[in-house]
Structure 1
Amino acid sequence: MSRSGAEPRSLHNAVDYWCNSFLPDKSAAWQRAIDRQGLSIKVHRDGDGFCTPEEMVQRLDGAGFSTVILVASAPPAASVVDDPNQFEHVTCRAGEIAELALAYPGRFVGVWSIDPTAGAAGVQRAEAALGEPWCVGLHNHTHSWDRRFDHPDFDAYYDLCVEHDVPFVMQAGRSGGNFPHECGHPDGIEEPAERHPSLRFVLSHTGWPWTSEAIVLATRFDNVFLGTATWPLRHWSDELRTFIDGPGRTKVLYGSGFPTTGHLQAARQFADPELTAGLDESAIRLVTAGNARKVFTRLPRSVALQEV
């Protein structure tokens, strides 16, 4: 299909390392959580809203994204099924990602979001997920559990990641809404990073408001990376841009945090010379594609995008 009249594609084989479920049945769950907590989060609808898998693939083609890493978790527990603040309401189920990965090879994979309170059963479930072809890493929605990254409850999961050579992604910094925040302080990664030098940690959400501390840790440790999920390019801080333009060009990964940031929105912003000022083409390619492929070594090879 011709691209005549379409916006120029600014990204090439990009990877989104954190995408919550985009399926239409999750739209209402997001809105309930936003309304209940009185958040100012904007869920973009202009071409970047919840959609069918076929529509998402077409969107990714147009935006220049090769692969999306979806977050999978168990369903909400029966005791909290009516609580819209539960992160599990907006994640995918493992079966959904398995079906997407089979139907659209190379386009959809997932990370398994752990429950550090589940003891041995939780570890067994994570290990089972890592045995599935769609699973490329483990994930922690930090603020749901109020545990620092150096909490002993994570030790077995870190060991699993080392054993399977997959990364561990965690939300760092503060979280919107009625969640504890100090658990997300980046300094919690220091001890795990020292103890597991081969384990690749991704401190997501830029670590805000402790981005400076997160950058120091990503600079100090070869195995600590920063992720930008939920932070669109136009909101990247000067310190983050300076880091990317210097020693951090190989240490930062692009994530949408869909639906708070969309893929077409990302393509438009990365095509804007004012927003990319100070970031050369090589750095943009690394942040949006190359670094993710270095961290997530199970990712499928780049796929050919369809012209739209």
Structure 2
Amino acid sequence: MPIDLSKIKAIDVHVHAEVSCHDPEDPVMGKFFDAASAYFKAPRERPKMPEIIEIYREQQIAFCMFTVDCESGIGAKRVSNYEIAELANKNDDICIPFASIDPHKGKMGAREARDLIENYGVKGFKFHHIMQNIEPASQVGYPIYEVINEYKLPAIFHTGHSGMGTGMRGGGGVRLKYGQPMLVDDVAVDFPDMKIILAHPSWPWVDESLSMALHKDNVFIDLSGWSPKYFQPQIIQYANTQLRKKMLFGSDFPLIHPQKWLDAARQVGFKDEVLPGIMKDNAARVLGLA
């Protein structure tokens, strides 16, 4: 049963599936989970996908679910995109399958992307170039982008500071420079039919994301990874004015609970007429649900 927009109160575009239902937690990834849980003051135990689905169904919040493929960047085994897609498709009243493919996989990654779209109903993609240790506009990843662009699907690009690696020795070996939003600008130009969602408020480069969303018709911003009470004033300002149709609700679950994010969002100065767009309507358009 496809998502009935009249029966949900919000769409969370940023939800992580961090552990497989079948395989044990990867020990390399586990070290990053330890540090991220301490940084976010979040529970260490990672919920499995069926539990995530029930949490969101109970709250009447539809959501995009994905892993992060950083097999080349940090050497952690990824959760299978196919496992996520199959489970999401069995719960398509609430769950939207996204996939993550390490850009280093190039043409083989493009083959996987096409298969996931055509045969497993994947509706979008997630890139985390800090964890993948590669520039967003590296030509190595362009074959994957070409497939996403061909199908006119959205792709989420991590931007700004990374909770993953924070507090670890040498930041866990990950480089924050790949999270600068302007590094995605070439991708937005070269693939105008790919809807690019810049994830997080992009601190310390907040204004770059706002500029890109204002300038490019295919660039949007998800507000995940931070409680709204910590947003910079210009985020609220632009969400209430020129970018009111470009801002999307995202939580970064399991590190931030969606209801906690939504409760905070009602207290920070978003206009009453703007909140429905942020919570649901803008994402519905980007995801092709409306």
- Who is 2:123 aligned against? 136
Equivalence for 2:4 = none
Q: Which residue of 1 aligns with 2:42?
A: 43
Larger relative CO (CA 8 A, sep 6+): 1 or 2?
A: 1
CA distance in structure 2 between the partners assigned to 1:142 and 1:208 by the alignment:
16
What amino acid is aligned across from residue 114 of structure 1 in structure 2? I
Structure-2 separation of matches of 1:22 and 1:28:
10
Contact 1:75/1:93, CA 8 A, preserved across alignment: no
Distance between the aligned counterparts of 1:102 and 1:224, measured in 2?
A: 27
The answer as to whether partners of 2:105 and 2:141 remain within 8 angstroms in 1 is no
Opposite residue 93 of structure 2, the aligned amino acid is G
Q: Secondary structure at the match of 1:132?
A: helix
Would the aligned equivalents of 1:12 and 1:285 in 2 still touch at CA under 8 Å?
A: no
Normalising to structure 1: TM-score of the pair?
0.77
1:20 alignment partner in structure 2: 16
Give the Cα–Cα distance (whole angstroms) in 2 for the partners of residues 75 and 254 of structure 1: 25
Letter in 2 for 1:117: H
User: Which residue does the alignment assign to 1:191?
Assistant: 186
C-alpha change, 1:156 and 1:99, in structure 2 (3 Å) is closer
- Between the two proteins, the alignment pairs up a number of residues equal to 272
Counterpart of 1:284 in structure 2 is 275
Q: What residue in structure 2 maps to residue 7 of structure 1?
A: none
Q: Which amino acid aligns with 1:289?
A: K
Contact 1:173 1:209 in 2 (8 A): yes
Corresponding residue for 2:83? Answer: 96
**1:259 aligned to 2:254?**
yes
The partner residue of 1:169 within 145, 156, 163 is 156
Aligned position for 2:95:
108
Deviation, structure 1 residue 118: 1.6
Output the CA distance in 2 between the equivalents of 1:143 and 1:284. Answer: 30
Q: Are positions 1:118 and 2:105 aligned together?
A: yes
Equivalent position of 1:232 in the other structure = 227
Contact 1:234 1:269 in 2 (8 A): yes
3-state SS, counterpart of residue 210 of structure 2: helix
Structure 1 residues 231-278: Cα deviation after superposition (integer angstroms, max 9, x where no partner): 2222222111111011111111111111111123234334x5xx24x2
Aligned-residue RMSD, C-alpha: 3.0
Long gaps (5+) in structure 1: 1-10, 81-85, 302-308
Task: Measure, in 1, the Cα distance between the counterparts of 2:264 and 2:37.
Answer: 28
CA deviation after TM superposition for structure 1 residue 186, in Å: 1.0
Q: Counterparts of 2:25 and 2:251 in 1: how far apart (Å)?
A: 16
Task: Determine if contact 1:142/1:183 at 8 Å carries over to the other structure.
Answer: yes
Uncovered stretches (5+) of structure 2, i.e. residues with no partner: 1-6, 166-170
Quick one: which amino acid aligns to residue 232 of structure 1?
S
Whole-Å separation in 2 of the counterparts to 1:237 and 1:43:
23
Other-structure match for 1:293: 284
Does the CA-based 8 Å contact 1:148-1:185 persist in structure 2?
Answer: no
- Which deviates the most, 208-217 or 95-104? 95-104
Q: Which deviates more from structure 2 when the two are superposed, residues 215-224 or residues 288-297? A: 288-297
Residues 212 and 73 of structure 1, relative CA distance in 2, 3 Å threshold: closer
Residue 50 of structure 1, CA deviation: 2.4
Which residue number corresponds to residue 211 of structure 2? 216
Q: Which protein shows a greater Rg?
A: 1
Alignment CA distance shift 1:220-1:61 (3 Å): same
Amino acid at match of 2:138: H
What's the offset of the Cα at 1:56?
3.8
